[in-house]
Amino acid sequence: MMKKILIVGAGTAGTIMAVRLSRTLSRKEWTITVLDKDENHYYQPGYLFIPFGIYTKRDVIRKGARYIPAGVEYMLAEAEQIVADRNRVKLKDAREIAYDILIIATGTTIHPEETDGMMENGWRENIFDFYTVDGAEALAKKLRDFHGRKVAIHVAEMPIKCPVAPLEIAFMTDWYFTQKGVRQNVDIDFVTPLSGAFSKPLTSKVMGHMLGERKINMVADFGTERVESGKLVSYDNRSVEYDLLITTPTNMGDALLERSGLGDDLNFVPTDKFTLQSEAHDNIFALGDATNLPSSKAGSVAHFQSEILTDNILSYIRGKELKAAFDGHSNCFIEAGYGKAFLIDFNYDLDPVEGTYPFPVLGPFSLLKNTRLNHLGKLSMKYVYWDILLRGIPVPGITSKMGMAGKKIPRESS
Ligand SMILES: Cc1cc2nc3c(=O)[nH]c(=O)nc-3n(C[C@H](O)[C@H](O)[C@H](O)COP(=O)(O)OP(=O)(O)OC[C@H]3O[C@@H](n4cnc5c(N)ncnc54)[C@H](O)[C@@H]3O)c2cc1C
C-alpha cells in the first residue's frame, strides 16, 4: 500500500523539502503532499529593500504552486490541528489527511499584539514593521514623507527570524536619510533586548562599531514592557521616545502548534537540534523557522537543514539510526547601505569566522568585512533564491556542513 509524507507549509523549508524528497523517494511506495494556507510564496529577505524604494512587492511575491515539482500534490488549505496520536491533520475546511510521516515547516510570523500598547498607540501610523509586505510598503510611504526627528529601530524580544535584519534596517535608514540630505534632522536609536548589537560576541563588536560610525545610538538590554504614545518603556522603567518606531515585534510559531499541543510557549516545535526529529513523536520532523532550535531562523538554515532532513527521513523509512547531524550552519549577508554589505558564516559552536566564502582565497565574498562584492551578492540572492535554491539545484561550495577551508577563527572567539 502507498504511504504518505505530508509537509505542512510551502515556504522556503517546505518547498525545498518537497523538491528533495520527490527526487529521493520511490514513487511506487510514497506519495508526497504539501499544503499551504497562502497561494503566494514570499522572498522575505527582499522585504528589507521595499521601505527604501529599491524593491516593490513584485520582487518578493510569486505563486507558490510554480515551485512544487511534478508528482507532488499541492493543496491550498490551512492545517487546523495535528492529531499526532492518530497520524492525521485536520484542515480548516473540515477535511482530514492521514500521514505516515509529517514534516512541520510552518515558519514564524510577527505578533505586535504581544506587546502592550503596540497596536493601540499608532500601529501603521507611526509604528511600522518590515517583516510583512504590507508593513514594508506602509513604511516606504512613511519614510518618503518623514522629516524628523526621532526614529527608534526596535526588537521586542528574541528569538526573531533573520536576527540581523533590524541591524540592516538601521544601516539602511541612516543611508536613506543621508542620500536625501536630511540625516542631520534625524536621530536614530537602536533598541534591543540583547546586551550588544548581535548575539555572537565578535559580530556584536563589529556591528556595534558600525552603529557607532553611523551615529546610531545603541540602547541595549532593553526588555520592552509596553508602548505608550511616542514612547517605549522597559521593565526596568527606562524609556525611549520616538516620532517613528520601526519594530520587529514578538515572533511566534503558527497557532496550529498550540492547538495541536506540539509547541512551546512561543508555539515553536521542540526539535532535536541534530536530527530534526520532533521531540514528541518519532514520525514527525520539523525544520526552518518553526523549530525551537538555537540556530538562526534564516532561509540559509532552512536550506542546509533540508539536506540533513532528507537523509534522516530516508534512514527513518529504512528503520536505521538517524545519523545525519545538523551542525547549526547559518550564513547571512548584512546590508550596510552605501552599496556595501557584510557576510557572516557560523554554526552551533563557532562564532562567525573571518576569511572568504564560499571558496578559499577565490571568495568572492569576504566574511565579517563590509564590501561591495558582498552587496552584489546580497542583491543576486533574489535570483539565486527563486531560480536555484528553491528548485533544489546544488550551488558549488555551498554545503549544509560548515566548511573551514579559507576561513580562520577570529582570535576573540577561540
Ligand atoms: C525582513 C526579513 C529579512 C530576512 N532576511 C534574510 C536573509 O537575508 N537571509 C536569510 O537566510 N533569511 C532571511 N530571512 C528569513 C527567511 O525568510 C526565513 O527564515 C525563511 O523563509 C524560513 O522558511 P520557513 O519555510 O521556515 O518559513 P516560511 O518561508 O515563512 O514559510 C512558512 C509557510 O507555512 C505556511 N503556514 C503556516 N501555518 C500554516 C498552517 N496552519 N496551514 C498551512 N500553511 C501554513 C505559511 O503560509 C508559509 O507559506 C528574512 C526574513 C525577513 C522577515
Domain end call among 225, 250, 275: 250
- Say what the alpha-carbon torsion angle 201, 204, 208, 211 is, to the nearest 10 degrees: 170
Q: Are residues 209 and 258 in the same domain?
A: no
% of the chain exceeding 70 in pLDDT:
97
Q: Report if residue 324 sits inside a domain.
A: no
Q: Report if residue 323 sits inside a domain.
A: no
Q: Does 11 contact ligand 1 (Cβ within 6 A)?
A: yes
Please name which of 49, 43, 30, 40 lies closest in space to residue 375, comparing C-alpha atoms: 49
Q: Does 37 contact ligand 1 (Cβ within 6 A)?
A: yes
Q: Does 172 contact ligand 1 (Cβ within 6 A)?
A: no
Angle, in degrees to the nearest 10, between helices 12-24 and 299-317:
40
DSSP assigned state of 169: H
Sign of the four-CA dihedral 400, 406, 409, 410 = negative
Q: Are residues 235 and 158 in the same domain?
A: yes
Residue-number span of the structural domain to which 122 is assigned: 111-250
Distance of CA 240 from the midpoint of ligand 1 (Å): 30
| pLDDT band of 411, cuts 50, 70, 90 | low
Q: Report if residue 325 sits inside a domain.
A: no
CA angle 359, 168, 226 (to 5 degrees): 140
Q: Report if residue 40 sits inside a domain.
A: yes
Q: Does 297 contact ligand 1 (Cβ within 6 A)?
A: yes
Q: Does 8 contact ligand 1 (Cβ within 6 A)?
A: yes
pLDDT tens digits along 26-49:
989 999 999 999 999 999 999 999
pLDDT tens digits along 344-398:
999 998 887 778 878 777 778 888 899 999 999 999 999 999 999 999 998 866 7
Q: Does 240 contact ligand 1 (Cβ within 6 A)?
A: no
Distance of CA 208 from the midpoint of ligand 1 (Å): 27
Q: Is 110 exposed, middle or buried (0-12, 13-18, 19+ CB in 10 A)?
A: buried
Q: Mean pLDDT across the stretch 221-236?
A: 98
The answer to whether residue 413 scores a pLDDT higher than 70 is no
Q: Does 300 contact ligand 1 (Cβ within 6 A)?
A: yes
pLDDT tens digits along 160-173:
999 999 999 999 99
pLDDT tens digits along 274-318:
999 999 999 999 999 999 999 999 999 999 999 999 999 999 999
Number of structural domains, the chain?
3
Q: Does 106 contact ligand 1 (Cβ within 6 A)?
A: yes
| Residue 18 cell numbers, joined | 518537497
Rounded Cα–Cα distance for residues 240 and 198 (Å)? 20
Rounded Cα–Cα distance for residues 295 and 275 (Å)? 13
Q: Are residues 353 and 391 in the same domain?
A: yes
Q: Report if residue 273 sits inside a domain.
A: yes
Q: Are residues 66 and 28 in the same domain?
A: yes
Rounded Cα–Cα distance for residues 401 and 386 (Å)? 23
Rounded Cα–Cα distance for residues 363 and 347 (Å)? 19
Q: Which whole-number Å values give the CA distances from 289 to 106, 312, 322, 340, in the listed order?
A: 7, 19, 21, 27
Q: Are residues 196 and 307 in the same domain?
A: no
Domain end call among 264, 287, 317: 317
Q: Report if residue 322 sits inside a domain.
A: no
Ligand 1 nearest-atom number relative to CA 132: 53
Distance of CA 43 from the midpoint of ligand 1 (Å): 8
In this prediction, residue 312 carries a pLDDT of 97
Ligand 1 nearest-atom number relative to CA 333: 8
Q: Does 161 contact ligand 1 (Cβ within 6 A)?
A: yes
Q: Are residues 62 and 118 in the same domain?
A: no
Q: Are residues 47 and 85 in the same domain?
A: yes
Q: Does 110 contact ligand 1 (Cβ within 6 A)?
A: no
Protein residue closest via CA to atom 39 of ligand 1: 106
CATH of the domain at 226: 3.50.50.60
Helix (H) or strand (E) holding 177: helix 165-179
Ligand 1 nearest-atom number relative to CA 15: 25
pTM higher than 0.75, yes or no?
Answer: yes
Q: Are residues 274 and 387 in the same domain?
A: no
pLDDT tens digits along 48-57:
999 999 999 9
Q: Does 46 contact ligand 1 (Cβ within 6 A)?
A: no
Q: Are residues 368 and 382 in the same domain?
A: yes
Q: Report if residue 20 sits inside a domain.
A: yes
For a substitution probing ligand 1, which of 162, 173, 380 has the most ligand atoms within 8 Å of its CB? 162
Q: Are residues 31 and 100 in the same domain?
A: yes
Q: Is 151 exposed, middle or buried (0-12, 13-18, 19+ CB in 10 A)?
A: buried
Q: Are residues 126 and 243 in the same domain?
A: yes
Asked whether the beta carbons of 174 and 262 are under 8 A apart, the reply is no
Ligand 1 nearest-atom number relative to CA 165: 3
Q: Are residues 269 and 153 in the same domain?
A: no
Q: Mean pLDDT across the stretch 191-213?
A: 94
Q: Report if residue 198 sits inside a domain.
A: yes
Rounded Cα–Cα distance for residues 21 and 316 (Å)? 13
